[in-house]
Structure 1
Amino acid sequence: MDRRAISGGRCPLFYYDIHEAEVTDHYMALIYDAVRLAGGELLPYDKSIPVRKEDFILTNEFPITFYHMLRGHRNHMLWIQGIIPKESRLRGHSWLRFKLLSMIEKRVIKRAKLLFLISEEMQRHYEKKYRLPLSEKSVIFPCFSEKTIHENAFFDEKYQKNTFAYVGSLSAWQCFSETVALYRKIEENSESPTKFYVFTQETEKASAYLQKMGIQRFEVAYHQGETLSKALAGIKYGFVLREDIPVNRVATPTKFSSYLSCGVIPVFSSALRDLHAVHAKNPLGIEDPTVEYLLSDMKKTRLANTMKNVCKGYFDTYYNVENGKKCFAEAIRKTAKLSEKPTLLITIGNLKTGGIAKALTVFLREMMPYYEISLLAMREGEISAEIPEGVHRIAPNDFMKITELSRGELHGISLGARLFRYLGAIWSKIFGKRLPFRLISGKHGTFDAVISFCQPSGAKSFCNLANESALWGAKSTKKVTFLHADFTKYGGNDAYNRSLYRKFDAVCAVSDAVGKRLLSVMPDLKNKIFTIQNFLDTADILQKAEAVISPLSGEIKILTVCRLEAEKGLLRCIPMMKACEKQGASFVWHIVGDGAEREKLEKAVMENGLSERIIFHGAVENPYPYMKQADFFFLPSFHEAAPLVLEEAKLLGLPILTTETLSARTLVGDLGIVCQNDDTVLEVALLDFLKEKRYETIRKQYDKDAVLREWKHRKAETVKAVRTVLS
C-alpha cells in the first residue's frame, strides 16, 4: 500500500532512524507506541523515499539527527539517553572531539522540535550548559527495562540470605572497582555468609578482577531479559554506585528498574539525582552506603509482602509506562499538530471467557492508537475487566441484553423486555429473527467506521445482536464484520446470515482458510473478503506464564484449554484415554475451561474409572502457567476456524496434538502434529505421543526468538491490513 495513502493526505509521517541496542529497546518501544497513540504513522527511514517538509525524523542519537539536518530535514524528535560529549572524555578521547560533539549537540537540541529526556537533571544540565529554555519541548521518562514486578521474586527466604548483585558493563563510570571494594569489606566483616553475583558480558575480565581482589564467594555470568530476571529473583541487594560527575547525575540506569521488579534492594549513590529525589518520596533502597550501615541492614527482618508493595509503588508511579506513553503521545500530538482520530464503533455479543472476546481485548489495544473506539457489548463477562482504559463503553438497554440471557437469567430485566424475549424467541423459531432484531438494534450515533467483531448465530436463534446493531444501529460509510468460524459448520450458514454478509462493505476472516471456506459458499463476496489474523499480546502472555501455581500431577501432563462444548470433541476422547491407559501409558489429562458439556464429561470420566487420569480445573483467569508446566497441548475439535489457544501454546513452546480443522496446519507449523479428524487415527496419534514421547522431539524445534520476531512482523502487517480495510 502506498505510504502517502496511509498518511491521509498531508498528515505528517514519522520516520525512525535509530541505532539499535538491547538497552534501548524498551524505551524506543515506548516512543513508538506513543506515536501510534497520538495517531501518527510510524515507518522505517528509507533514503529512497523523499521526506516531505511536514514529516518527522525520530532518532535516538544526536549525530544521526545532525546527519538528517544536513540532508535538509527540518522536523526532528530525539531521545537522549546520555550526554555524549562528557562520555567521550571519560573514554579518553580528545578535548577537540569534546568541543566538536558539544557544538553538534547544541545545534541539535536547539533545532529539535521535541526531546525525550531520561531525567529532570538532564533537562537542567542542558538548560544550564547551552542556556536554552527546554521545558516547552521536552518530555521526561526514566530509562527502564521492566514494566512491572515479578510476583514470584518476592518470598521471605531470599531476604534472610545476604546476597548481592552487580549488573552492567565494567566501564569506569559504572564504578565496578568501587563496588567490588565495598563488597570485599562486607564479606570480610559480615557475621553471616555472603555471596556476590556479577552479571556482565565481560565475564572473564570480571572473574579475574574478583579473584585479584580476594573475593571469596562469587559467581559471574551473562544474562539478559527474562534470564536476568530469573537470576535476580533470588538476590537481596543490588549495587548501583556512581561517582558524582555530570554523566552520572543525569542518568537513570535501567538496572534500577530491573532490581525493583525482582524485589532486589537497590544500594545506590545520591549522585543519581533523579533517583535520589524519587527515593526521598518512596524510600526503599540504601543511599550512599557505608560498610557499617550495610552490615546493620543485613540483620534486619524484611517481609516479602512489604517489599512487594513498595516495589509495586515505583511501577505505579515513577515507572508507570502507560502514563509515560500518554504524556509522550500528548506532546507528539501537540508538536506535530495531529488531527483528531477517526471514530470506530465495535459491537460484540458478550464478553464471557472465550477466544473471540479475548482476541477483542488485544485488537482494541492495537487499534486505540489510530481510532477513538466505542464498544457495545450486549452482555458483560469475565473479559470485561481486560477492556483497555480509554475505550468508550456504550451501555446496552434491556432489549439488547435479553439477546444474551437465558430465561433463567432475566431477573432485573424490565417487564417489557422480558415479554419481548419470550415473544421474540417464539417468532424467531417460526419466522427467523430479522424482524425482532431490527426492532431492538438501537441507535448509537454516527461513526467513521463500524465493526461487528463476531459472526451471527443461526436465523432461528434469538441471540447475538452484534451484526444487526452494526448494520442498523449506527450510521457509517464503512461497515465491517468478522468471521471467527468455519462458516459451513458452525451453524450459521443460512439464507438470513448470507444476506447479512452481503450488506457489509467487508468481511474479515481470521485466516486464509476461513475466508476461502466462506467464499466457497458465497463466491459473490470475492472482492469483500479480507484476511485479518488475530493479534496476540506476547509480552502479557509470557509474563502471565511466570505466575506460580500448584504443580500439575502426572508423569506425562496433557493439557486442554477450551470451552467445554460439543464441537471441541472432548467427549470422544475419554474412551481413547482409557485405551491408552490399558496400553500402559502413564499420564494425567488436565482440562481447563467450563461449559455446557462439563456434566457429560465428568459422568463419562466416572463411568470409565478415569478420575485420577482426567482432572477438571474449571475456568481460570490465567491458563498460561498450566501451559508452561504441561508436556503437550491437546485440542481434538470437530471443527475450528483459527483458535487463538493454538497460537498461545506455540508462543510458549508447548508441543501440540490437534485434529485437522480449517487453519490447524498453518497455526501449528513445526511445533506439533495435525492428524486426520477421525477417532481411530486420533487415538493412534495420542498413544504415539504418550508412548514414544513424541512431544520431546517436537519441543526441541522451538525457537522463542524466531517466534517473537514472527509475531512482531505479523502485528505490524495486521495493523496495516485493518487500517486498509477501514480506510
Structure 2
Amino acid sequence: MKKKILFAIDSLDVAGAEKSLVTLLTMLDYTKYSVDLMLFAHGKLLEELVPKEVNILRPLDYTKFSELNLKQALIYSVKNFDYKMLTSRINYSLEIRKKQYSNPQKARVYWQCVSNVIEHNPKEYDIAISYAQGVPTFYVAEKVKAKKKLAWVNVSYRLNKEDKEFQQQFYNQYYKIVAVSESAMAVFLETFPVYLDKMEVIYDINNPDLISKMAEIGESYEDQFVGIRILTIGRLAHQKGYDIALEACKKLKEQGINFRWYSLGKGPLKEEITTYIKENNLSENFILLGVKANPYPYIKNADIYVQTSRFEGFGLAIAEARMLNIPVVTTRFDAVYNQMGDEKNGLVVDMNSDAVANGILRIIQDKQLQKRIINYLKVEKKGNVEEIEKFYQLIDQSNTKECMAK
C-alpha cells in the first residue's frame, strides 16, 4: 500500500523554497507514495510544473473567502448567517495595520486571528510535511492528522521572545525538523536549542539535467542590448538587499561600465526600488523584469549572477547560476559557504555596495579571473539529486511515532 504524504506550503510562486519543492515532487517515486499538496494561495506560476500524480487539494474555505472583496465578503456572511470568517478577516486587517511586522510576526498574527475558521484536513496521513515556516507549520501541527510530522526550515531568521514562545507550541508536535543547510540549522538552534536532537539537514534539491533542459526553452532578454548582462533573482524585499544592489549599480554607472543589471522578482519594495531607479537615472541600467516561471534562459544568457542577500537558508538561485556556469558575486550571508568557494566558482564579498561593485568590476576587467572561474564551474560537481535518498530515508524510517494533531 502506498504511503500517504501531505506537503503544505504558502503557494507555488517563483521563489527558492517553492522551486525546491517542485523539484522534489518531480523526483518522487509515485509507485510508493500517494501525495497531496495544500496551498494557501492558488494560481501561482509554478503550479503548472507540479507532476500530474500530485493531488492539489481544493482551497480552504477561508482562502476562498479572503479572495472576495469586502462587499462580496459581507454579502456572503449575511447570506450564510455566518460572520466568523468576516470577523477573523477584519481582526487580522486591523491588527496588521498597527505597526510594521516582520514575516514571522505576520504569520503569528494571521494564525491568532484566523485559525479558528481554518477547517481540519479530513484525511489521515502517514507523513505530513510543512515545507515552509509560519502558516504551513502552524497548519500541519494543528489541523492535520499524521503518524509523523516533519517541518522544513528553509530560511535563516531569528525570533523575538513572543514569537519563539508562540512557535514552540507547534514545533513540539513535529517528529523531525529539517534545515536546508548547516547554517540554517545553526541559526534555528540559536532560538530553539531544545530541538537539537530533532534536527536533520537536507539541502534543497537541484537537478542539473532539468535546469539545463529548461534553460534551452522559453523567453529570455528581448532588448537587443550589447554589453555586460548582470542578473539578480529574488523577492523585492529587505532580505534580498536590493538597496545594496542599487547603490552598486549606481557606482558601476559612474565608472562608465557598459552594463545592464536585470532583476527577476516581485515584492513589497517595488515602488521604492522604482523610485530610486528614476531619481538616480538608472532606468537604462537597472531593469525590473517581474517574475518568470522559467528563469533559466535568463540565467544562461547572463554574464554575471549577483546575490546581495542579507540572509538565506541556502541560496537556491546561486546554485542554479552555478549549474549553468555563470560566475557569481555574492554577499557573505550565513549560508554562503555551503556552496561558494571564494575565488573559485565566484567571489564572496562584504555586505555593502562598494564590495559588490568592486567584485563585479573584478569579474568584468580581470579576464584571467573570469576564465578561471568559468573553467572551475564547468568541472565542479553540479546539483545534488542524491539528497532525495536522505528524504526517502527520513520518511521511510521504521519509527512511526504518533504525533496526531488534537
TM-score of the pair, normalised by structure 1: 0.48
CA contact (8 A) 1:562 1:592 kept: yes
The CA distance in 2 between the partners of 1:602 and 1:554, in whole Å, is 23
The CA distance in 1 between the partners of 2:363 and 2:376, in whole Å, is 16
1:633 and 1:681, CA in 2 relative to 1: closer, same or farther beyond 3 A? Answer: same
CA contact (8 A) 1:633 1:649 kept: yes
**Match of residue 468, structure 1, among 124, 133, 138:** 138
* AA partner of residue 298 (structure 2): Y
**Match of residue 391, structure 1, among 54, 64, 86:** 54
**Match of residue 447, structure 1, among 125, 134, 144:** 125
Instruction: Indicate the residue corresponding to 1:601 in structure 2.
Output: 273
The CA distance in 2 between the partners of 1:492 and 1:413, in whole Å, is 36
* AA partner of residue 86 (structure 2): R
CA contact (8 A) 2:205 2:385 kept: no
Instruction: Indicate the residue corresponding to 2:329 in structure 1.
Output: 657
User: In the alignment, does 2:168 pair up with 1:498?
Assistant: yes
User: In the alignment, does 2:374 pair up with 1:699?
Assistant: yes
* AA partner of residue 665 (structure 1): Y
The CA distance in 1 between the partners of 2:290 and 2:215, in whole Å, is 18
Instruction: Indicate the residue corresponding to 1:353 in structure 2.
Output: 14
* AA partner of residue 570 (structure 1): Y
1:552 and 1:715, CA in 2 relative to 1: closer, same or farther beyond 3 A? Answer: farther
1:444-481, Cα deviation, whole Å (9 max, x unpaired) = 1211111111101xxxxxxx3x2222112121221111
CA contact (8 A) 1:398 1:414 kept: no
Instruction: Indicate the residue corresponding to 1:365 in structure 2.
Output: 26
1:126-158, Cα deviation, whole Å (9 max, x unpaired) = xxxxxxxxxxxxxxxxxxxxxxxxxxxxxxxxx
Query: Quick one: higher RCO (CA 8 Å, sep 6+), 1 or 2?
Result: 2
* AA partner of residue 313 (structure 2): A
Aligned length: 377
Correspondences of 1:291-690 after superposition (within 5 Å): 340-369=1-30, 370-380=32-42, 381-401=44-64, 414-415=76-77, 416=83, 417-426=85-94, 432=109, 435-444=112-121, 445-456=123-134, 464=135, 466-488=136-158, 494-547=164-217, 549=220, 550=222, 553-669=225-341, 670-690=344-364
Larger deviation: 422-431 or 440-449? 422-431
Secondary structure at 1:530 match in 2: strand
Instruction: Indicate the residue corresponding to 2:384 in structure 1.
Output: 711
Instruction: Indicate the residue corresponding to 1:15 in structure 2.
Output: none
Q: By how many angstroms is 1:526 displaced?
A: 0.8
1:410 and 1:700, CA in 2 relative to 1: closer, same or farther beyond 3 A? Answer: farther
CA contact (8 A) 1:341 1:372 kept: yes
* AA partner of residue 314 (structure 2): A
* AA partner of residue 344 (structure 1): I
1:638 and 1:663, CA in 2 relative to 1: closer, same or farther beyond 3 A? Answer: same
| Aligned CA-pair RMSD | 3.0
Q: By how many angstroms is 1:376 displaced?
A: 1.2
The CA distance in 1 between the partners of 2:71 and 2:350, in whole Å, is 40
The CA distance in 2 between the partners of 1:410 and 1:359, in whole Å, is 36
1:425 and 1:616, CA in 2 relative to 1: closer, same or farther beyond 3 A? Answer: closer
The CA distance in 2 between the partners of 1:490 and 1:540, in whole Å, is 40
The CA distance in 1 between the partners of 2:321 and 2:27, in whole Å, is 21
The CA distance in 2 between the partners of 1:561 and 1:409, in whole Å, is 37
Q: By how many angstroms is 1:554 displaced?
A: 4.0
The CA distance in 1 between the partners of 2:47 and 2:74, in whole Å, is 20
The CA distance in 2 between the partners of 1:582 and 1:491, in whole Å, is 45
The CA distance in 1 between the partners of 2:254 and 2:148, in whole Å, is 58
TM-score of the pair, normalised by structure 2: 0.83
Instruction: Indicate the residue corresponding to 1:173 in structure 2.
Output: none
1:362-400, Cα deviation, whole Å (9 max, x unpaired) = 222233433211111121122221221121222133324
Instruction: Indicate the residue corresponding to 1:59 in structure 2.
Output: none
1:413 and 1:628, CA in 2 relative to 1: closer, same or farther beyond 3 A? Answer: farther
Correspondences of 1:10-29 after superposition (within 5 Å): none
The CA distance in 2 between the partners of 1:573 and 1:725, in whole Å, is 48
Q: By how many angstroms is 1:531 displaced?
A: 0.7
Q: By how many angstroms is 1:411 displaced?
A: 6.7
Secondary structure at 2:263 match in 1: strand
CA contact (8 A) 2:232 2:263 kept: yes
* AA partner of residue 713 (structure 1): E
1:548-571, Cα deviation, whole Å (9 max, x unpaired) = 644762421111122212221112
The CA distance in 2 between the partners of 1:717 and 1:674, in whole Å, is 29
The CA distance in 2 between the partners of 1:505 and 1:424, in whole Å, is 30
**Larger-gyration structure (1/2):** 1
1:639-683, Cα deviation, whole Å (9 max, x unpaired) = 111121111111111111111112112122331111122344333
Secondary structure at 1:619 match in 2: coil
1:470 and 1:718, CA in 2 relative to 1: closer, same or farther beyond 3 A? Answer: closer
Instruction: Indicate the residue corresponding to 1:9 in structure 2.
Output: none
1:307-337, Cα deviation, whole Å (9 max, x unpaired) = xxxxxxxxxxxxxxxxxxxxxxxxxxxxxxx
Secondary structure at 1:553 match in 2: coil
CA contact (8 A) 2:206 2:385 kept: no
1:386 and 1:411, CA in 2 relative to 1: closer, same or farther beyond 3 A? Answer: farther
Secondary structure at 2:212 match in 1: helix
* AA partner of residue 370 (structure 2): Y
* AA partner of residue 685 (structure 1): G
The CA distance in 2 between the partners of 1:726 and 1:714, in whole Å, is 21
The CA distance in 1 between the partners of 2:34 and 2:75, in whole Å, is 31
**Gapped runs of 5+ residues in structure 1?**
1-339, 457-463
1:401 and 1:515, CA in 2 relative to 1: closer, same or farther beyond 3 A? Answer: farther
CA contact (8 A) 2:180 2:313 kept: yes
Correspondences of 1:170-319 after superposition (within 5 Å): none
CA contact (8 A) 1:552 1:626 kept: no
Correspondences of 1:53-202 after superposition (within 5 Å): none
